[in-house]
Amino acid sequence: MQKSFKKVESWNIGGLEYWARRSIIPLFRYSSLIILLISIFFLPLKSFSAETVKFKYLQSIYFDDRGGGIKQPEGVACNDKSVLVIGDTGNDRLLRYTLEEKNLKAGTEIKIPQLSNPIRVQLNSKGEIFALDGKKRRVVRITPDGSFKSYVDPEGMPAPAAFVLRSVKIDTNNNIYLLDIFSARVLVLNSEGKYQKQIPFPKEYGFFSDLAVDPKGSVLLVDCVKAMIFFSAKDSNSFTPLTRSLREYLDFPTNISTDSRGIIYLVDENGGGIVILGQDGSYLGRQLSAGWNEGLLNFPSQMSINEKGEVFIADRGNSRVQIFTLVK
Amino acid sequence: MKLRLKWLFLPILFMSLLIFSLSYAQNKFKLKPDAKGKLCLSCHDNFKEKLKNQFIHTPVKSGECSECHNPHTSSHGKLLDADPNKICNKCHEGIVPKNPKSSHKVVTEGNCVKCHDPHASNNKFVLLKAGNDLCFDCHKNIGETVAKAKFKHNPVEKGCINCHDPHASTKAKYLLKNDLVVLCVTCHKTDQPNFVKQHMNYPVAKADCSSCHNAHGSDKAGILFDNVHQPVANKMCGQCHEASTSPDALKTKKAGFELCRGCHSSMMNDTFSKNRIHWPLVDKVGCLNCHEPHASPRKNLLMGEMKSLCGKCHQDTMGLQTRLAEKERQEKAAAKDNVMKGALTHNPIREGNCEACHTPHASDSVFLLKQPSMIELCGTCHDWLKHTSHPMGEKVADSRNKNLRMNCLSCHRSHGTGYQYLIPFPTVTDLCVQCHKQYKR
Rounded mean pLDDT, B27-39: 68
pLDDT for position A9: 36
Q: Which residues of B touch A116 (CB under 8 A)?
A: 275
| Contact check, Cβ <8 Å, B284/A72 | no
Position A27 scores a pLDDT of: 54
| Class in CATH terms, A51-327 | mainly beta
Mutate to test the interface with B, among A163, A181, A223, A268 (most CBs of B within 10 A): A181
Q: Are the Cβ atoms of B402 and A62 closer than 8 angstroms?
A: yes
**pLDDT for residue B341:** 78
pLDDT given for residue B333 in this prediction: 87
The Cα A302–Cα A313 span in angstroms is 6
Record: contact A162-B424, CB cut-off 8 A? no
**Interchain contact B283–A (C-beta under 8 A):** yes
Confidence at residue A13, expressed as pLDDT on a 0 to 100 scale? 43
Task: List the single residue in B with minimal CA-CA distance to A253.
Answer: B316
The answer to whether B255 faces chain A, any CB pair under 8 Å, is yes
For the residues B53-61, what does the mean pLDDT come to? 91
Are residues B403 and A270, on separate chains, in Cβ contact within 8 Å? no
* Burial readout A306-328 (b: 16 or more C-beta within 10 A, e: otherwise): beebbbbbbbbbbbbbbbbebee
Task: State the pairing for strand pair B362-363/B393-398.
Answer: unpaired
Q: Is B432 on the interface with A (CB under 8 A)?
A: no
Tens-digit pLDDT profile for residues B241-267: 999 999 999 999 999 999 999 999 999
* Residue B277 at interface with chain A, using a CB cutoff of 8 Å: yes
pLDDT of residue B4: 66
B-chain residues within 8 Å CB-CB of A69? Answer: 402-403
Q: Share the mean pLDDT of chain A.
A: 88
What residues does CATH 2.120.10.30 cover in chain A? Answer: 51-327
Mean pLDDT of B112-138: 94
Nearest chain A residue to B270 by CA distance is A135
Say whether residue B91 is in contact with chain A using an 8 A CB cutoff.
Answer: no
- The ipTM (two decimal places) reads 0.84
A213-248 residue pLDDT tens = 999 999 999 999 999 999 999 999 999 999 999 999
Of A131, A130, A259, A148, the closest CA to residue A191 belongs to A130
For range B380-398, the mean pLDDT? 87
Q: What is the mean pLDDT of residues B96-101?
A: 90
Please choose, from the candidates B316, B311, B309, the residue with its C-alpha nearest in 3D space to the C-alpha of residue B287: B309
| Selection from A212, A307, A284, A216 nearest residue A48 by Cα | A284
Share of chain B above pLDDT 90, in %: 72
CA distances from B166 to B33, B55, B104, B169, B172 (A): 39, 19, 7, 8, 13
Q: Do B316 and A251 count as a contact with CB atoms less than 8 A apart?
A: yes
Contact A296, B434 (CB under 8 A): no
The pLDDT assigned to A14 comes to: 47
Residue A10 has pLDDT above 80, yes or no: no
The verdict on a CB contact (< 8 Å) between B403 and A225 is no
User: Does the distance separating the beta carbons of A135 and B275 come in below 8 Å?
Assistant: yes
What is the least distance, in Å, from the CA of A71 to any CA of chain B?
7
As a whole number, the mean pLDDT across chain B is 90
Question: Stretch B88-97: mean pLDDT, rounded?
Answer: 88
Query: What is the average pLDDT across A136-157?
Result: 96
